[in-house]
Amino acid sequence: MARNKEKLVLLLDVGPSMHSVLPEVEKVCSMLVEKKLIFRKNDEVGVVVFGTEETNNDLTKEVGGYDHIVVLEDIKVVDGDLIDTLQKLPRGTVDGDFLDAIVVGMDMLIKKYKDIHKGKKRLCLITNAVHPIKDSLEGTKEDQVETIAAQMTAQGMKMESVVVRGRLSQDANKRIMDENDRLLSIFSKQTLTRTVYVDSPTSLLGALKTRRITPVTVFRGDLELSPDMKIKVWVYKRTQEEKFPTLKKYSEKAPQTNKFATHQVKVDYEYKTVDGASKVVPPEQRIKGYRYGPQVVPISAAEWDAVKFKPEKGVKLLGFTDASNIMRHYYMKDVYLFIAEPGNTRAILSVSAIARAMKEMNKVAILRCVWRQGQQNVVLGVLTPNISQNDKLPDSFYFNVLPFIEDVREYQFPSFNSFPVSWQPNEQQQKAADELVQMLNLAPSGKEEALLPDYTPNPVLERFYRHLELKSKQPDAAVPPLDGTLKRITEPDPELFFENKSVIDALRKHFELKENPKLKKSARRLLREKPSGSNDEDGDADVSDAQAVNSIEKALVVKIEKIGDLTPVQDFEVILSRRDSPEWVGKAIKEMRDKILGLLSDSHEGDNHLIAVECIAALRKGCILEQVSPSPSLCFCATVSAFATAKWPVIAFS
Amino acid sequence: MDLDPEDVFKDEEDGSDNEFFQQSASSKEYVVYLVDASPKMFNTTCPGKDQKDETHFHLAVSCIAESLKTQIISRSYDEVAICFFNTREKKNLQDLNGVFVFNVAEREHLDRPTARLIKEFDCLQESFMREIGSQYGIVPGSRENSLYNALWVAQALLRKGSIKTADKRILLLTNEDDPFGGLLGAAKADMTRTSLQRAKDAQDLGISIELLPLSCPDEEFNVKVFYADLLGLDGEDLVQFMPSAGQKLEDMKDQLRKRMFTRRIIRRITFDITNGLSIQLNTYALIRPAVPGAITWLDSVTNLPLKIERSLICEDTGALIQEPPKRFQPYRNENVKFSMDEISEMKGISTGCLRLLGFKPLSCLKDYHNLRPSTFVYPSDQEVVGSTCIFIALYRSMLRLKRFAVAFYGSSSHPQLVALVAQDEVAKAGVQIEPPGINMIYLPYSDDIRDVEEIFPDTDDDAPRADEDQIQKAAALIKRIDMRDFSVSQFANPETLCSTAGSSSRRR
């Protein structure tokens, strides 16, 4: 780990024009240090702020100048105090000079590490770069920047600049901004500097990588175009999901006084026989069984080895095909990046030539990949060109995994054109939808794209780390709600929706939605329950509703064993649905029959007849449901009909 | 206990992933294949490859066999029954004429498919005439109604299980669009009425009846004659039941096979377009990695399954922990503890619906903006009338303007930004290849995207670029190795083929 120790100096602009975004700067910087505390405890960080009233740095003491720059924290191994410092950055009073700040930061790194740790030293600048830097005494500003950039490269330093612009710096001077952008671009060209422009607090949170993961290759070897045409490539992951951290289990068993208690929990698995004895079976006596329908087929490791698919390691081209043959939604997994072997000019040129030709011809390549020797599966995927926009970076390919035939379910869906006219949008409706799709634009030209995945942080992780920091100070702190900046990710931007109010109102006016009146309430509840695993998403109201229903049902099940006079139909259904003994069905039907006959014979001028009809309907339904042989019901029907024709001839049987 | 050892050692919180990839046992499906075995099914053939004609009956049976083989691997918890009607012999619990329930030993009538069922069903073609026989069950002058009987038997088979935990379906395969065509007057009306009533009773019990019609070469199967009423089809549903006439065998097989799948909904979700305008959508998993069968641990002496017991042991005291323990994260030299409630509260950042945030041109969706298989979205008017209309309007706008929608999908396990990309319908030879609808593509967060600058090694020089001549040479190469008709799903996964071939050959 030590060799990867990063040495970082944060250069933060705290001048007056930055005040509005400083809360986000504080959050993103403390998050950066917090993650280092968890994942990279040995990294070292220093903090410099510029645009302050005061001045406090080595250079000003040694050579003078470098005003309004304060070294808040010298470079040191990360600790909790650093977070406390970053959480309350001072609010400056003067417009800062970012170039001076860069020099101060470089000076700190040089003094501390001399010229060792090449490539591990980093500067991170967050500014809006809307104020002019001081003129230099000798030469132009450009000359000055180039000298500094050359020094930076010589020292093996990298820089990351996050420039906050757009909505966040509206009334800045265009000429000065352009000059500053030009100066910053010199850094990008001449040094390993990543410059990112952001125009919303949300993308500020995402623009700075708060956790650095050292990339590892998935594969190094030949990309075989044919048996005798090969290109040396390295394959990396381009995306990989950053999961919610796996938290360890905590045991509270150890006495509080025990200072050395680890509070760890060991998870133990025992394989036991299912018979009464529950004997533990030792590992060597266990064998894996594979399901084939309800049966389980035992296959020992040796047998398994014999049938196991053992492909050779290698990445082979199957062929090229039109890009339109591969639908975007076939992409199955996270994405890989294929680069030519570093330093191998011929490989870099071949990748570049093929990538550019593919781009021109609108083609993609289909590959068959086995990344490692001994890997048991083959990956089929599509290679797409990635033409580099940066002169320093070579051309490369993206690789996406495609499905095999077993992975595709060929469901059929009706064509929209086949729907009745009432379901089709009319001309006005289509126009309203067109307007919405055009106007609710997240990527307007000339502006930064909103919610760009590359700069959009995971709100759940943000929340977790913030809560972790909070809880370390107040153990009983409640989970903080999502703040406004993170809500821009989960909810529509009120500003954008307000700007397009007329378009949205038009859409509302043209389309009418209503609850389906045909759907019975009970059915609706049923429908909501159907999708598996959706319960967790239902609102609280639904849950309590369902619980209420359940408890009522339970109560009924417990009590009712006879069909009463008040609610004979319901009683009948409850008894019928009892499953604790097979007798209930017969009993329910018999009781219901008696009840109906009773109702009919006791009726006075047909006053019970309506109830009796309901009972008969329920009885019929019950018999169908239980598939009880219809014959007893049939002769019963005859009895009832006799009654009915005698007393109330309106009832007819179907 | 179907615990896979690798699964067991995963953290419990990862369990949410499984829900995404695997079908849970609770969403079971019970299917009764109701196959018409009338002489007409044997007399009608459809032209196949190499002049080999196949009877409709053969076609139906081989499609069922194929779907059973898929099912035993991918959805083995689902239960099936196979039932023929218009047969000479009868075999059913109700002892009704003209209905024969096919089954094998060690199996209930409606049960999970077994290796034996598949094996014997495969051989059924040869023995059918001898053992079961084909005979019209609806004959003028008699009071028999084999269709009525068949529905009655199928419904009885589906008595099992609650409708809440299982989808119950009757799949009716026939080439007779007018089963009571030979009858006249009152007899016909009576039989029609009773059969419709029987179907309605089944539907009232939550059983869905689906028709897989087989068109005769000279005349199209006319759903309107009788079955539209039986199935309760309205105008819009009717259209999709119309098979095109005179199809080739392969196409017909393809269509039958596809229709035997249920379009299993993974979830019904609400799509919030703006405040006060929320429509209903169904989501479907059209593309998911087929996972090899779950492992069950057995005692190698008795071959009986083992149960796995998990115990939590306190490392400090050795005591067993009963209640679900709290979690902790070491931070700043101490252990910060979280209760499970707190953890789910942190993760629960949304209401579970899909919220529209805006639109972007398709060029903004980069090739590296991907993490997991996409989910298909199709509208439904079942709960909210008017959903389909808005959906179609937005879908058409997006297709025409080449834009996609960005939305936040607040599922509890993976709250995520998604791209909603409209997909135009693609059909070839009457078979749908890409259904019309919207694909939901899960977008990564900045946390999930690796820095390219980190990947490429540090250099002082500009990277080499191919010149025009080199690019032209590469273009010539690409032309040489062109796969013109490539389509996804041409390739079967060699790994699963290997393992399933292994286990089924052992069993049979």
pLDDT tens for B240-275 read: 555 544 455 566 666 666 666 666 777 888 898 887
Query: Any residues with CB less than 8 A from the CB of A598 and at least 6 apart, and which?
Result: none
Q: Which of B73, B390, B467 to mutate to test the interface with A (most CBs of A within 10 A)?
A: B390
Cβ atoms A98, A37 nearer than 8 A: no
Nearest to A472 among B336, B355, B361 (CB): B336
Residue with tokens 């760890």, as numbered in its chain = A264
Closest-CA residue of chain A to B450: A238
**Positive/negative CA dihedral, B113, B119, B120, B126:** positive
Q: Which of B299, B432, B508 to mutate to test the interface with A (most CBs of A within 10 A)?
A: B299
pLDDT of residue B129: 85
pLDDT of residue A573: 75
Assigned token pair, B241: 């039941």
Query: Any residues with CB less than 8 A from the CB of A223 and at least 6 apart, and which?
Result: A230, A231, A232, A233, A315, A317, A338, A367
Chain B residues in contact with A158 (beta carbon < 8 A): 458
**Positive/negative CA dihedral, A372, A374, A376, A378:** positive
Cβ atoms B474, A354 nearer than 8 A: yes
**CATH number reported for the structural domain that contains residue B117 in this entry:** 3.40.50.410
Q: What is the Rg, in whole angstroms, of the alpha carbon atoms belonging to chain B?
A: 28
* More confident site: B270 or B182: B270
Residue A73 has pLDDT above 50, yes or no: yes
The string of pLDDT tens digits covering residues A241-273 is: 988 888 888 877 777 777 777 778 888 888 888
**Shared-domain flag, residues B118 and B176:** yes
**Positive/negative CA dihedral, A624, A629, A633, A634:** positive
Identify the domain containing residue B370 by its residue range: 267-290+351-448
The string of pLDDT tens digits covering residues B271-281 is: 988 877 889 89
Does the residue B480 lie in any domain? no
User: Which of A104, A129, A128, A109 is CA-nearest to residue A49?
Assistant: A104
Distance from CA of B187 to the nearest CA of A (A): 16
Does the residue B165 lie in any domain? yes
**Shared-domain flag, residues B124 and B170:** yes
Q: Which of A264, A346, A399, A419 to mutate to test the interface with B (most CBs of B within 10 A)?
A: A419
Which residue type is seen at B125? Q
Chain A residues in contact with B261 (beta carbon < 8 A): 409-411
**Shared-domain flag, residues B420 and B367:** yes
Question: Strands across the sheet with B334-338, in order?
Answer: A248-250, B326-331, B334-338
Q: Do B298 and A526 touch (CB under 8 A)?
A: no
Residue with tokens 């591990």, as numbered in its chain = A120
At residue A117's C-alpha, the angle toward residues A116 and A122, to 5°, is 125
Mean pLDDT is lowest, of A8-12, A276-280, B199-203, B357-361, for: A276-280
CATH number of A6-207: 3.40.50.410
Assigned token pair, B148: 């009525």
B273 - beta bridge partners?
none
Distance from CA of B125 to the nearest CA of A (A): 23
In Å, how far are A12, A89, A196 from A126, measured between CA atoms? 5, 13, 10
How many C-alpha atoms does B488 have within 13 Å on its Cβ side?
29
A403 vs B373: CA distance, rounded Å: 9
Q: HEC profile for A139-204?
A: CCHHHHHHHHHHHHHHCCEEEEEEEECHHHCCCCCHHHHHHHHHHHHHHHHHCEEEEEEECCHHHH
Does the residue B435 lie in any domain? yes
Coil, strand, or helix at residue B337?
strand
The string of pLDDT tens digits covering residues B350-399 is: 777 899 999 999 999 999 999 999 999 999 887 888 888 999 999 999 99
Coil, strand, or helix at residue B47?
coil
Which residue type is seen at A297? V
Nearest to A532 among B27, B453, B492 (CB): B27
* More confident site: A116 or A483: A483
B429 vs B426: CA distance, rounded Å: 10
User: Which of A344, A338, A345, A387 is CA-nearest to residue A367?
Assistant: A338
Classified by CATH at the fold level, domain A216-411 comes out as: Ku70; Chain: A; Domain 2 (2.40.290)
Average pLDDT over residues B138-146: 78
Q: HEC profile for B257-272?
A: HHHHCCCCEEEEEEEE
**Positive/negative CA dihedral, A25, A29, A30, A34:** positive
In Å, how far are A522, A584, B356 from A571, measured between CA atoms? 18, 12, 48
Going by pLDDT thresholds of 50, 70 and 90, the confidence category of residue A533 is very low
Assigned token pair, B140: 């003028």
In Å, how far are A157, A215, A400, A602, B449 from A337, measured between CA atoms? 25, 11, 9, 85, 11
Q: Do A293 and B453 touch (CB under 8 A)?
A: no
Cβ atoms A271, B321 nearer than 8 A: no
B260 vs B254: CA distance, rounded Å: 10
Residue with tokens 């410092």, as numbered in its chain = A85
Q: How many domains does chain B have?
A: 2
A355 vs B471: CA distance, rounded Å: 8
Assigned token pair, B243: 């098979």
Query: Any residues with CB less than 8 A from the CB of B18 and at least 6 apart, and which?
Result: B7
The string of pLDDT tens digits covering residues A468-479 is: 888 888 888 888
User: Which of B386, B404, B358 is CA-nearest to residue B279?
Assistant: B386
Does the residue B492 lie in any domain? no
**Shared-domain flag, residues B228 and B282:** no
Query: Any residues with CB less than 8 A from the CB of A420 and at least 6 apart, and which?
Result: B235, B236
A448 vs B343: CA distance, rounded Å: 34
Residue B47 has pLDDT above 50, yes or no: yes
Residue A503 has pLDDT above 80, yes or no: yes
**CATH number reported for the structural domain that contains residue B439 in this entry:** 2.40.290.10
Which residue type is seen at A266? K
**Shared-domain flag, residues B254 and B369:** no
Q: Do B483 and A245 touch (CB under 8 A)?
A: no
pLDDT of residue B66: 82
Q: Do B478 and A626 touch (CB under 8 A)?
A: no
Average pLDDT over residues B150-155: 91
B447 vs B116: CA distance, rounded Å: 51
Nearest to B482 among A295, A319, A376 (CB): A319
Secondary structure percentages of chain A, helix, strand, coil, to 5:
45, 20, 35
Q: HEC profile for B464-477?
A: CCCCHHHHHHHHHH
Residue with tokens 């990112």, as numbered in its chain = A196
In Å, how far are A16, A64, A408, B263, B282 from B258, measured between CA atoms? 65, 80, 11, 10, 19
A464 vs A466: CA distance, rounded Å: 5
Chain A residues in contact with B21 (beta carbon < 8 A): none
**Shared-domain flag, residues B178 and B279:** no
Does the residue B50 lie in any domain? yes
| Percentage of residues in chain A having pLDDT higher than 70 | 85
Please say which residue of B448, B465, B487 terminates a domain: B448
Q: Do A433 and B394 touch (CB under 8 A)?
A: yes
Q: Do A298 and B298 touch (CB under 8 A)?
A: yes
Q: Do A242 and B445 touch (CB under 8 A)?
A: yes
Please say which residue of B204, B239, B260 terminates a domain: B260
**Shared-domain flag, residues B199 and B243:** yes
A250 vs A262: CA distance, rounded Å: 9
Q: How many residues does chain A have?
A: 654
Q: What ranges make up the beta strands (E) of A203-313?
A: 217-226, 229-237, 248-250, 265-273, 286-292, 295-298
User: Which of B153, B145, B167 is CA-nearest to residue B84?
Assistant: B153
User: Which of B346, B340, B412, B355 is CA-nearest to residue A459?
Assistant: B346
Q: Do A334 and B371 touch (CB under 8 A)?
A: yes
Assigned token pair, A304: 């398994």
The interaxial angle of helices A501-510 and A427-439, nearest 10 deg, is 150
User: Which of A472, A495, A494, A491 is CA-nearest to residue A481?
Assistant: A491
pLDDT of residue A416: 87
The number of beta carbons lying within 10 Å of the beta carbon of residue B25 is: 12
Cβ atoms A145, A193 nearer than 8 A: no
Average pLDDT over residues A115-131: 83
Nearest to A240 among B358, B417, B448 (CB): B448
B15 vs B347: CA distance, rounded Å: 14
Chain B residues in contact with A432 (beta carbon < 8 A): 393
Query: Any residues with CB less than 8 A from the CB of B168 and at least 6 apart, and which?
Result: B29, B30, B31, B158, B161, B205, B206, B207, B208
Tally C-beta pairs within 8 A across A and B: 675
User: Which of A90, A343, A316 is CA-nearest to residue A223?
Assistant: A316
User: Which of B415, B421, B416 is CA-nearest to residue B363?
Assistant: B421
How many C-alpha atoms does A642 have within 13 Å on its Cβ side?
7
Q: Which one-letter DSSP state was computed for residue B87?
A: B
| Percentage of residues in chain A having pLDDT higher than 90 | 17
Q: Which range, A203-207, A625-629, B221-225, is most confident?
A: A203-207
Question: Strands across the sheet with B166-174, in order?
Answer: B99-102, B79-85, B28-36, B166-174, B207-213
Strand bridging mode A286-292 / B384-385: unpaired
> What is the ipTM, given to two decimal places?
0.77
**Shared-domain flag, residues B97 and B195:** yes
**Shared-domain flag, residues B283 and B193:** no
Nearest to B392 among A424, A441, A512 (CB): A424
**Class assignment of domain A419-441+449-510?**
mainly alpha
Q: Which of A537, A626, A654 to mutate to test the interface with B (most CBs of B within 10 A)?
A: A537
Closest-CA residue of chain A to B455: A215
Q: Which one-letter DSSP state was computed for residue B306?
A: E
User: Which of B267, B243, B331, B246 is CA-nearest to residue A532?
Assistant: B267
Going by pLDDT thresholds of 50, 70 and 90, the confidence category of residue A535 is very low
Which residue type is seen at B381? D
Q: Do B316 and A489 touch (CB under 8 A)?
A: no
